[in-house]
Amino acid sequence: MSKICIIGGGIAGIQCALDLSEAGLNVIIVESGDALGGISALLDKTFPTNDCSMCTLAPKLVDLSQRPNVEILTRAEINGIHAEEGEFTIAVTLNPRFVDEKKCISCGRCEDVCPVFVTPQGATHTLRKKAISIPFPQAIPNSFVLNPKACLYFLYGSCKKCEAICPTKAINLEETKVGTRIKAQALVIATGAGLFDPTPLKALGYKTLPNVITNLEMELMLKATGPTGGKVLRPSDRKEPQSVAWIQCVGSRMIAPLTRPFCSDTCCMSSVKEALNTKEVCHKIVTDIYFLDLRAHQKGSEIYYQKAKALGVNFIRSRICSLDWAPGDKIELRARRIGGTVESRTYDLVVLATGRSPSQTLKQFLEQPQKLYDDFGFIATKGEETFKTPIGGIYACGSSTSPKSIPHSVIEGSAAAGAVIINMSHKSDNSKYEHPSTLNCSQKSPAKIGVFICKCGGNISDHLPVESLKQASLLLDGVEHCEIVEFACSKDALSIIKEQIKNKGLNRIVVAACSPHTHEATFQEAIKPLGLGPWAISMANIRNHNAWVHKSQPILAEEKAKDQIRIEIERVRKLKPIAPKQYPVIKEVLIIGGGISGMKCAIDFARLGFPVTLLEKEKELGGNARFVHKTWRGTFFKQLLKDLTERVQNHPKITVLTEAKLLTHTGRAGSFTSKIETKEKGTIVINHGVTVVATGAKEFRPDEYLYGDSKRILTHLELDRILNSKEDATKIISKAKEIAFIQCVGSREENRPYCSRVCCTHTIMTALLLKEINPALDIFIFYRQMRTYGLREKFFLEAKKKGVHMIPFSTDHKPIVKKILAMDETGQVSTKLKLSYQDPYTNQILKLYPDLVILASAIVPDLRDNKELSDILGIPLDEEGFFKEAHLKLRPVETIQKGIFITGLAQFPKELDETFSQCSAVVSRATASILSKDTLLLDTPIARVIKDKCDGCGLCVDPCPFRAIKIIEYIFKKEVKRTIEIEEANCTGCGICVATCPKEGIEVSGFEPSTILSQIDAIIKERNNGDFEPYILGFLCHWCAYASADLAGAHKIEYPANVRFIRVMCTGTVNPNIIVYALSRGIDGVIVLGCHPGECHYHKGNLVALERKETIELILEEYGISPERYLLDWCSSGQAERFVNIVTEFVEKIKDLGPNTHTITTFQPPTANNLKDERRYPPMTRCFDGVLYYWDGHRYRSSKSAQRSLKKHLDKGFEVKLIPEENVFLIYTRKEINDHLN
């Protein structure tokens, strides 16, 4: 089978590998570092969402590590690349890791005994690690690696403590380098870019002034997993600074021997992010950012920038002169402001925002290096397709071709994969897949549970009495076998587990060991050949969540470990087998929008052999491209549009429907049905497996600068129409003496706060073209921030050289355009334009009399059309009205609805090369995940309807983020009944619907309310009459909170041992009944911890949990239970210290509150005993201790709570009804009242 070699294991290379492997290709990643991840692995958070960087990276790393057709080589050096007859031979040297990846169990004993500390790459001398360590907790390969340059054995021939203590003999200090050759049919370069070394810039004092650091060093300091634990400390004295300054463009945007004439794209926003995060850590700190132009051009970045200003980050427009030492190890910063004055300020810490340097590691090994590298030293690309190189068979992605953000790198990784897939015309054969039959796991057969307790080489057994845990486990119902193993994840232990499954007929497995995040997949793969699906196994995390964090609390730790095992035993006991299902895939594509992006996607899908229907609402194809003149890379839109249109219209696999409109869209990924209204053919219906939204955007019609009052005031597109006609352009431009451009017209305003991204480059390129037509022309560009990001910066510098006047302005002093009467040389009076502006250097009001004024107008979404299409497809819009991606960094071309993708201006303003990358990424993701398969396999937990409990109320429909639930009607005993139906292929198993249902009519296997209640019952204890020790229950979101608890364990951060955790997929899964039930059974406090708002892996699950918070508190208060016994909070996967603080503080709060002595009865359905006339009430009611509640989809409401929120609910379209006999308020939606009365 074909093999693809990817050189570089950063975020772009990882995404490329994921797509290629999912499409069925064999992939080998050659990475020079110790682990995959690149610079992304070193970051703390990412802008503009402030997501934990590891939350973005870790899911991809875990996914990649589980792919059988992906081989990963680390510490690998390329020694030669030879191309011959369509195949590449890559010579690679594998440098020794000195730790066998397959034997290493990441126990950490070697690190504990290692006496040597070293400074990691990019860190200050205060940030240190051991000579043998794991690069980072979630690293792939997830094994330790040794640094021979720091190891005492390699330096002096002594020590070898690590080798002696390793329990699996994984360490071999005699390991040597090995040479190998890789044969590949295609080569993808994803080597990224390096960081500029500011040492030669003597005026900035790097490495001479101790408190001058780089932005990467600041990232490591802010990182929760860094050696400072996320604290900002000065290197000189390890004290918290009172003031920090960031200096932008260090090594970027300047023409000098030691710098680069390009913009490094991400530095501005990285500094903004660091300043905000520093303010979170150091609350009273002064944060100043010195900048030339603040480039917040990416989606969400401008709003993030404005947020920083509102929160007190100071932005100072100036050019830095020098940094000098000041008393107290402070730094005196001298900067020249726009007006020319030099100002001096002192800071405790200065951060240099260093630029990116192109990686040229492959240059010496290529046979034709001049073809593969551009003038800047980056990988050269082919026209607008920046993921292709001039050499056939070699592709590139990420920052190897130019500086890029994480979302763009992820997109380009997929784009390169798409190009490989297209050019190899590869289709994976998924039809031969046979899922193993389920062994002895019918729903009626009793659970036969096997428990395997791992000693983890002493990591567990040194701190927990594993024999006691074994004996306690054997006493539990359903446990047929319990065994202690040395290393549960080792080959020998896996063989033991499989043997016991066969010998004793075990059909449920609990492994008491480490984290499911790192090892669950290992056990799932091991038992799969025995007919047990992934649902049949559960892990009790007694290492990360116990042995490593409760060493000083041995008695409590033992009790907790027993409870952890009980919790997982109850989970597997209740598990219902999941029969694998396969859904056929319709290998056809619907593309909505016939502009450039829609046509590009159509052509690429058609090249792969997939039939495409291209729907366009206008009479002709082309969209905005019909009016634009030229791209910054030199492509003429007119010719490009002609070529694409001809290819689309002449391709036998593409059907074009113009003047067409989408009416309905139903189904699931792989099998959609769409009804389309066309002018020519009437209404037609098509079936397809994938939908692509490429509806584009439009130019904003200005409402300022006298637009519409004069023919000499034009927008960009109106000028481009003139330039598209060479005759008109020459006629108009050659006569002009002055032309003025005004930027940010309609953008970056209060009602449209985003940057339109392309306008600055468009203006600069147009100015250069106008100079070619008329060299004597005076051009004035009025701008707020010149955002010619990346390699586009060279054109900004060129325009300045050619005499284009660049004049910055602020929103307080915008240019003013007026019409005046003027007399020409012949004495004729005519109307002219007068432009007044404030000179930024002198503050004087100056005047121009331009022949033309060009307005760089915003790119805006078609709000009406987008809203209509959003409703039909069930995909959300963002706050600006563009279509919202599933996740800006994880899934930037996908939507929350599987099988529906977005590209081009429909998602956000972008350049043509970025659009082409996004189009190729869409083709890659759609092909790899859906179209390359004959069937889609479903073998993971999803929602399931309990038909005898579901009454079709429909309360679960709207909360579902993925439109996986619909209401259906059926006839039963001559009566019309309602129930719900799950579109299984769209369901993600988040469980939000489960917690919304008031009748337990829907469930997700493993996370059913009844299962969670059983888990609670399993750990209820008789209260000790001695000293009060709180008994706390925690529900942890699988993705973030649970991972932060894992990380706390990895860092051995202790916290109270009287907290028991139940893992849930999402905080939205936690039904209010469960919280009330736990507190009714004697639990002293309940914590629910999830992802930060806006970072939910299920789009809005944590927001649903937040909506329920008030109701839960009101119910608790009504029954005399302090709402303080319930806590809802957030922490990301990298916030170990935050997790520990939340838990510790909550335990202390409960100690102050004292034991929970209140007990209340559980919820019961309304009956004739507690209701006088049950028919008077709608079906969604509950009686609780004699008081009636109504469930409004998110909240239970009662008399007191209804009275408190009566007005609020009336305002929101709810109606409240008083039942005098019971003195109870019921809250209804108006629809519910009408349905009930009818």
Write the pLDDT tens digit of every residue in 361-371. 787 777 667 77
- CA 718 to each of CA 626, 628, 711, 734: distance values in angstroms, whole numbers, following the listed order: 11, 9, 10, 17
Torsion angle of C-alpha atoms 1141, 1146, 1151, 1157, degrees rounded to 10: -160
pTM for the full predicted model? 0.81
Over 70: is that where the pLDDT of 1149 sits?
Answer: yes
Report which of 411, 397, 401 is spatially closest to residue 262, judged by C-alpha positions. 401
Range with the poorest average pLDDT among 269-278, 568-577, 635-644 = 568-577
Which CATH code fits 700-860?
Answer: 3.50.50.60
Q: Look up the CATH number of domain 449-575.
A: 3.40.50
> Over pLDDT 90: what percentage of the chain?
59
**pLDDT higher than 90, residue 254:** no
Is residue 1172 predicted with pLDDT exceeding 80? Answer: no
pLDDT at 408: 95
CA separation for the pair 788, 805 (Å, rounded): 16
| Section 792-819 average pLDDT | 94
Per-residue pLDDT at 531: 84
* C-alpha pair distances (Å), 397 with each of 381, 394, 420, 891: 10, 11, 12, 16
Give residue-wise pLDDT tens across range 608-636: 999 999 999 999 999 999 999 999 999 99
Q: Are 884 and 895 in contact (CB under 8 A)?
A: yes
Per-residue buried b or exposed e for 1203-1231, using 16+ beta carbons within 10 Å of the residue's own CB: eebeeebeeeebebeebeebebbbbbbee
Q: In what order do the strands lie in the sheet with 479-485?
A: 479-485, 449-454, 508-512, 537-540
CA dihedral 178, 183, 184, 185 (to 10 degrees): 170
1071 pLDDT band, cuts 50/70/90, is: confident
pLDDT at 526: 85
> What CATH architecture does domain 1-94+177-192+359-428 belong to?
3-Layer(bba) Sandwich (3.50)
Q: State the pLDDT at residue 1221.
A: 39
The answer to which of 8-12, 807-811, 819-823 has the lowest mean pLDDT is: 819-823
The pLDDT mean for the chain works out to 86
- Where are the domains positioned within the chain? 1-94+177-192+359-428, 194-358, 449-575, 584-697+861-936, 700-860, 1174-1237
Decide whether 584-697+861-936 matches 700-860 in CATH topology: yes
> Given a cut of 70, is residue 492 above it in pLDDT?
yes
Can you tell me the distance from the alpha carbon of 716 to that of 759, in angstroms, rounded to the nearest whole number? 8
Q: What is the pLDDT of residues 700-742, one digit of tens each?
A: 999 999 999 999 999 999 999 999 988 888 889 988 999 999 9
Fold exhibited by the domain 584-697+861-936: FAD/NAD(P)-binding domain (3.50.50)
**Which residues in 720-815 belong to E strands, given as ranges?**
738-745, 778-783, 805-808
Please say if the pLDDT value at position 1196 is more than 70. no
Confidence band of 574 (pLDDT split at 50, 70, 90): confident
**Per-residue model confidence (pLDDT) at position 1160:** 57
Straight-line distance from the first to the last Cα atom of the chain, in angstroms, rounded to the nearest whole number: 64
| CATH pick for 194-358 out of 3.90.320.10, 3.40.190.150, 3.40.50.10490, 3.50.50.60 | 3.50.50.60
Q: In the structure, what pLDDT confidence band is assigned to residue 1168 with cuts at 50, 70 and 90?
A: very low
